[in-house]
Structure 1
Amino acid sequence: MIEVLELEDFMESLGNVMVTDARDKWVWSPDKSGLFSTRSFKSIAAAECNEEVGFRVKGCGWVPSKCRIFMWRVDLDRIPTRAALVKRNISVESVDCALCGEGVETVEHLFTACNVTMRVWNRFSEWVKIPPIFAFSFKDILSIHKGGNGDKKVKGIIRGLVMVTCWAIWKARNDKIFGNGQGNSEDIFGAVRSLGFFWLKNRSAHKNIVWREWCNYPLYMF
């Protein structure tokens, strides 16, 4: 009895199949022409994609590409934090944050909740003269430049300095684990000012910026 039912189901599934003497061929059903095209595939992929647009690597050309790509990886949670290493079955001595020693070292903790990092962001907001930074996720970090006053150029500099800050935080974390770094907020913020000055002066049109003025206010030239 079971075999009869299975045969009936199989024959029913063939109800819409038309058998002809024509030669078999592949047909790309999403396109009326039946031909595959990159354009039709992109339209399908765009329609199926519901994820929010992540970090854009373009822009802020004065920031080295390695730093911008790093930000893209952080946004995707693709950097080797201690939590990420454990998730990939890699043995680590501790999952605690390397900078503050409190809380599991995830992307969100390291860049928004770590006590050392929070002190860096407080110094950053005072230096750039923007409202205090209250970040609850890395997405909030990526939006810091949108909350400041000024035109597109000013916001571009702030966005670049945010990247430099995240880069300095990660570098300090690695130096504390693998080198002799102290991982304190003063050293990290000092690295942000020096790296930001060096990269902006040598990789942009702002070649006449002055260190003393820069240390007081990095947007003094606008």
Structure 2
Amino acid sequence: MILAAKVLPNRDDCSKWKTSKDGGFTVKEVRKTISSELDLNVALDNFWRNKAVTPEVNMFFWKAKDGKIPSARALEKRGIRGLNTTCSMCGSGVDDSKHILVKCQATNEVWKQILWWLKLPLSQQIYTVKYLLQTVGELGLSKKRADVIHAVFSQTMRSLWNARNRKVFEGKRMCTYKVVEEIKENSFEWITN
């Protein structure tokens, strides 16, 4: 970071990146500086970057956790009118990130099967993505197991969103079995590579 300026007579003006050995600016140096200043895995409000998951899914997970995915309700809040804000998968809830990803009856069945597959003792209702993460965080899992669970949860949310989009834009009904199998296949592929 450029934190101070020095006046050096008889020299041309220049900028130097403070943490870089040669003073050059690179994205790698920015990441190194930020990661040395912050532990991104400490709090749920911070972005949890998992190397077992693609950057696209990590970004989706981050947006979903904060309710920032472009659901019908979110688009309506941004001024887009005329959208049907009823959940396309169950027909009863509001099409917002919380409902689509954790509260919808259709997605809840997917979560039940994924939690069973992961052998996680979560039998109570899932209220939000943050609540789900907090509950898993309280289980005292090893870092490796927590990363695997995070990767599977990220894939689960991405697959649920894709299923919702197939319903909204293509009229295709969500098949719980196919979504669960997609989650397992993609998670296994990411974790083993």
Q: For 1:132-143, what aligned pairs fall within 5 Å after superposition? A: 132-143=123-134
Amino acid across the alignment from 1:161? V
- Which structure would you say has the larger RCO, counting Cα contacts within 8 Å and 6 or more residues apart? 2
Shift of 1:152: 1.7
Q: Structure 1's 190 and 119: CA in aligned 2 closer, same or farther, altered over 3 A?
A: same
Shift of 1:136: 1.4
Give CA deviations for 1:115-167 in whole Å, capped at 9, x if unaligned. 01110111011101111252112211233532446422112111111111011
- Name which of 197, 202, 205 aligns with 2:188: 197
Unmatched tracts of structure 1, length 5 or more? 1-51, 203-222
- Name which of 148, 161, 170 aligns with 2:152: 161
* Structure 2 CA distance for aligned equivalents of residues 104 and 61 of structure 1: 33
Give CA deviations for 1:63-109 in whole Å, capped at 9, x if unaligned. 00111111111223221111111112213441111221111111121
Larger Rg: 1
- Name which of 77, 102, 105 aligns with 2:67: 77
Shift of 1:184: 2.8
Unmatched tracts of structure 2, length 5 or more? 1-42
Equivalent position of 2:45 in the other structure: 54
Amino acid across the alignment from 2:134? S
TM-score by length of 2: 0.70
Q: Structure 1's 82 and 177: CA in aligned 2 closer, same or farther, altered over 3 A?
A: same
1:65 aligns with 2:59: no
Q: Structure 1's 133 and 117: CA in aligned 2 closer, same or farther, altered over 3 A?
A: farther
Q: Structure 1's 133 and 124: CA in aligned 2 closer, same or farther, altered over 3 A?
A: farther
Aligned residues: 150
For the 8 Å contact 2:118–2:149, the answer to whether it is kept is yes
Amino acid across the alignment from 2:112? N
> What is the percent sequence identity of the aligned residues?
25
Shift of 1:179: 2.4
Equivalent position of 1:101 in the other structure: 91
Equivalent position of 2:81 in the other structure: 91
* Structure 1 CA distance for aligned equivalents of residues 82 and 133 of structure 2: 29
